[in-house]
Each structure stands twice: as C-alpha cells, then as structure tokens.
Amino acid sequence: MLMSVKTLQFPKDSPTCTTPGEPANRPACRLETRPMMNATLPIKIEPLKVACSSCNLRELCLPVGLHSDDLAQLDKLVATRRQVNRGDTLFRSGDSFQSLYAVRTGFFKTCVASEDGRDQVTGFQMAGELLGLDGISTDRHSCDAVALEDSSVCVIPYEQLEELSREFTDLQRQFHKIMSREIVRDHGVMLLLGSMRAEERLAAFLLNLTQRLQARGFSAAALVLRMTREEIGSYLGLKLETVSRTFSKFQDEGLLEVKQRQLRILDQAGLQKLVNNTAC
C-alpha cells in the first residue's frame, strides 16, 4: 500500500483499465457471511487450467509487458490454482517456501509476529497482487498470509519462475520490478507509521485502497471493507477504537459515509488534503 507516497493518489504504475463506474463494490467480491473458521482443512488444490495469456488480470499481474511467446511459457509455469477460504491461511511464518502466489480473486492480509505475541499487519493484497516474496530470502516464509474472504490464487513455483526468467528478459525485468515495488511500498508505509497522525494515516489508507480498487474496475466512491477495524488499526499502528473514532469523525465532517464496513467516499479531495496538509 502507499507507493512512494509522493504518488499516493495517482500511482504511476497503475495499469490502464477502464473503470466501469458506480455500482457499489461489484458483487464479484462476494462476502457471504460464512463461519469464520481457522481450522486448517485439507488444502484444496484445483489443477484447473488457468492461462495467464487469457487472464483478465494480466495487465495488473506478473505478465505485465510480456509478449505472446513469453506468455505462452508463463502459462506452462502457472498451472495450478488453489482455493483459500475465508479465515484460512495460504502460508504461515516458518513454512518452507516453494511458490509465489498471485491473488486471482478475493482478498488477503499478511502479518508478521514478534515472539512476545504482538503482531502487525504488513499489507492487504487484492486481485493481481503477489504473495510470498518474503520467503525467497531464507527459503522459509516470514509472515502469515490469511484470506479475508473466500479467495483463489495462482500458484507460481518459484524455482521454475527463476528458470524461466533466465530465459525471458521481459519476465525477469517484470519480476524485479514487482519486488522493487514492494520495497518502495514498504518505505511508504514506514513514512506513514513514522510521521503521520491518526487522521492522516486513515485518509492515506482509504485513498490507496480506492485507487487500487479503481485500477481493477471498481467504483472509486463506494467500497466494502474486507478487514476489521482491528486489522486496519494493526496495519496503521493504531488501536481499533481510534480507527472507529476517526471513521466517525470523517463522517461528521462529510468526507465519508460509514455504515459498518460499507464505505462511501464523499469528498476525495478532502481526504487528499488531509494527507498532504500536515503540520500546517
């Protein structure tokens, strides 16, 4: 979240994707209220044939900028999908690292934990975003990835990705850009956590969220939060009460309409101002 922060509102890299418009968060992201179970059921591996070349996320995901030859190769690599139900983990800290995952549908959070129990949400991932980059460093994952709604991911075996990217320059380049972008994003979050006040943090968070939804063809104005106040708070370095109060404040000021997890952005410019006009 939060690219270089200079570009909070208009990330340079947001792919071109026409935005259909209003109908509040499309039903595509369904949030049926099902029991939130953390039980680790036997993992469903669905060897459904999925072709990157025909995926409607290809302009957002790993294949960005690849030509048909390369894409055909990538199709061979990304052969399986995996379904992850709400509340289930895709991987946990300590798990051995084998694959990266591209979110196909659904929504995830990643979080790290310190041994004394505290944990910190380090990001929220939606369609087209990659999960698991943390695992490359030590061949073990260093965070948990948890589905916040029923989701499916494309499995990208890492060894094979390395192999393929030795052959295809464009794929190599794209992969490196994705890793670098994650680093830049993280720096933006550090800036947020290190120097912004509660209102600014929440405003920045909301703007970032709507941008990313918009890039995926959703309305920029209406959205449904996939995460709890506590998860937002963890991500932003705030307590859930503060998040809640700040939502209420924004509502009082006419910036937002808040009904539990249903949000409507009424004054985007007003939110943007909050992020910029700090001290003054």
Binding site for DNA (CB under 7 A): 32-36, 197-199, 225, 228-230, 233, 237-245, 247-248, 258, 260-261, 279
Closer Cβ to a copy of itself, 172 or 251, answer by number: 172
User: 144: buried, middle or exposed (CB in 10 Å: 19+, 13-18, 0-12)?
Assistant: buried
- CB count in 10 Å sphere of residue 87: 16
Please report, as residue ranges, which positions from 88 to 117 form the binding site for a copy of itself (by CB under 8 A): 93, 112-116
Pick from 26, 92, 187, 261: which binds a copy of itself (CB under 8 A)?
187
Q: Shortest CA distance to 236 belongs to which of 212, 208, 263?
A: 208
4 interface partner picked from a copy of itself, DNA, none, CB below 5 to 8 A per type:
a copy of itself
Report how far apart the first and last C-alpha atoms of the chain are (Å, whole number).
25
10 Å Cβ neighbour count for 33?
Answer: 6
Which does residue 134 bind out of a copy of itself, DNA, none, counting CB within 5 to 8 angstroms by kind?
a copy of itself
Window of 21-29, 33-41, 42-50, 170-178 that interacts with a copy of itself by CB under 8 A: 170-178
Binds 189, which of DNA, a copy of itself, none (CB < 5 to 8 A, cut-off by type)? Answer: a copy of itself
Angstrom distance (rounded) from CA 280 to CA 269: 17
Do residues 64 and 108 make contact, with C-beta atoms less than 8 angstroms apart? no
- 138 contributes a contact to a copy of itself by CB under 8 A: yes
Q: CB of 78: closest distance to a copy of itself in angstroms?
A: 18
Count of residues interacting with a copy of itself (CB under 8 A):
56
* CA 91 centroid distance within chain: 15
Task: Name the helix (H) or strand (E) containing 73.
Answer: helix 68-77
The residue to which tokens 């051995």 are assigned: 96
Residues that bind a copy of itself (CB under 8 A): 4-6, 12-13, 93, 112-116, 118-120, 122, 133-138, 142-143, 162, 165-167, 169, 172-173, 176-177, 179-184, 186-191, 193-195, 234-237, 276-280
